[in-house]
Chains A and B, each alone.
Chain A
Amino acid sequence: MHSNGFFLKDVAGFLGGYYSCIAIMNGIAALILWRKKGQVGWALVWTALAIAMMVLASLALSASPGMVPALPASVRSLVNRLSGPMIYTLGTFALLAVLFVFRSFFVKPMVAWGILNAMLVLMGLSMADENFAAIVMKPDNVPIVGLVFLLAFFTWLATKQAVVNDDRIARGLPTVEKENDEKVLVWPDLVYTELICMVAVMAFLLVWAIFLPAPLEEPASSVKTPNPSKAPWYFLGLQEMLVYFDPWYAGVVLPSLVVFGLMAMPYLDFNKKGNGYYSIEERKFSYLTYQFGFFVLWITLIILGTFLRGPNWNFFGPFEYWTPYKVEVLNNVDLPQMFWVNLLDQPLPKAPAGASGLVQAGYVLLREAPGLLVMGAYLLLLPPLLAVTVFRGFFAKLGLVRYMVMANLMLLMLTLPIKMILRWTLNLKYIISIPEISLNF
């Protein structure tokens, strides 16, 4: 639970190497900037950082509890206390919004380099915490750490190109892609590059498999489920979705909608701009929709499922010990219960004993009337309403059929965050709940 000598001895070697790597990285960056001239100020900044990292590395290698650089305990407990699924999701949402709005600031190379350094140092400091290290250094979870950094890098790269292009378009210049549209031959240029990449990745995977082997566990048993029981990392977003929905919806309908939605994209996209070059300004709607679906509804959920969901699928702060005895007081309520019992203060409509199937069905429909009405309004009334207000231009350009497909895909995608927020705020379990026929929404 708390940092002890044994743990620190284990992690000290790693941290020493880790901080040294950051130092070397910054040293090289400083050298390159120094050679370029004109960037001397930044070169000095990174040199100073490299020296600071060397100091941290030697402190970490001391492996004594007072010396290893770590976050203060008060900060860690504050982070633990603040973190929760609600804050996490809304926080990532806000973070992405900030990154989007101020993208022309964040794509500056020096700013990005500073953020990368901050991320690395923060991770190194957190790593001195036993609970954090136990989760992050688990062989299963290492790829997710890589994913965080790789995704950040590639998103930054694409955004940078888009920002540059947007700027050029605004000034009436041709895009970068148009200006240097030098083409290379598939054979041999591309094929050789691919071959080299293939060999390099293979070698990398072999080394990885040797140093971080997959854990061997006890034989599988249908009556013994590991706690926590986690899907493969790429399905952890789906597993998180399953917390809020019935399996038929979160496990079948929503994933299929993702696939069909991606397939429908070429038919729904009437914007001919941005074809063959990076641009955000010219395709804001497509860009934001995609990034929302990909980052907020997929990647951040994977990260949440990997690092923050512990035993019994409870939410744990990043520095919290994963105890299977954590008590979270939840009492989820269905919408019919809320409506009939809590609001109207009367029992749920229930068919009298011995009623025929038809009468029972009628009572079930009456019981579920609020949920059915809400869902009906959401899926049937909202699209036309949006067509005459927010999406007026879209409706004109897409036509009825394509507009309805697009609007329904959007609305169904939004069911996930809406339901998540309703669960956290109102403890709402299901909007429509007909367990008699396993239909819950």
Chain B
Amino acid sequence: MKKLSARRRHPLAALVVLLLALACTGGLYAAFAPASKAQADETAQSLAIEEGKKLYAVGCASCHGTGGQGSSDGPSLVGVGAAAVDFQVGTGRMPAATSQGAQVPRKKVVYTQAEIDQLAAYISSLGAGPNIPTEAEYGPEGADIAKGGELFRTNCAQCHNFTGKGGALTRGKFAPTIEDVDPKHIYEAMQTGPQNMPSFPDTTLSEQNKKDIIAYLNAVNGDETESPGGLELGGLGPVSEGLFGWIFGLGGLIAVAVWVAARTAKAKKS
């Protein structure tokens, strides 16, 4: 320590302290900064953004503008986040047909998941927005199905029907069925509110709430859902039940009546 203390008034002492302080803060920053990624990652990220930008210029820019600023044909994409891109492109809604009806429908997906991720990277580089959820967020572990049902009936059923079979909105728009929809996409839809759907950010429906709803849908409308009563008849309620009852119920009974009436006693055939 003596040596140090003797040299504390050395002309270069200030420089040494300064260097030490800089190294220290730099090190701390490197250790704690959120965006701190390995060099290789960073290049991959910027590469993805680059690739995404190219894909965007070809497939999206004609409607959404060259810089995602939007145009008369498509809304601005600044700040919609990666989740919105993953939902819209991942369900085939985007790219939309040039002449669309009242609403952009779900259709065949034209990009690979890798390309979708690149597009998502580019769009989220334009402005911060919700990220693509992870399996841990939308997976079934730790979900309360019954609670999810209650939340679904309170927030979703008025458009999507009791078990997510979909329903009509005004002027040809509609709430689509949630059958065969990837849980990730359901989560993203809730978070970003595509088209006519209101968005349910985490402040409205918490992460746990969303997880519960997805688990409920999987329970009542998933691949392994059983219909204890027999044929579900579309799960649409009394309209399809009434049609079925008229056609197969009464129709069948009338056929039986015709059959019985045709077999009359042989004593006299009039």
Same complex: no
Residue ranges of A at the interface with B (Cβ–Cβ < 8 Å): none
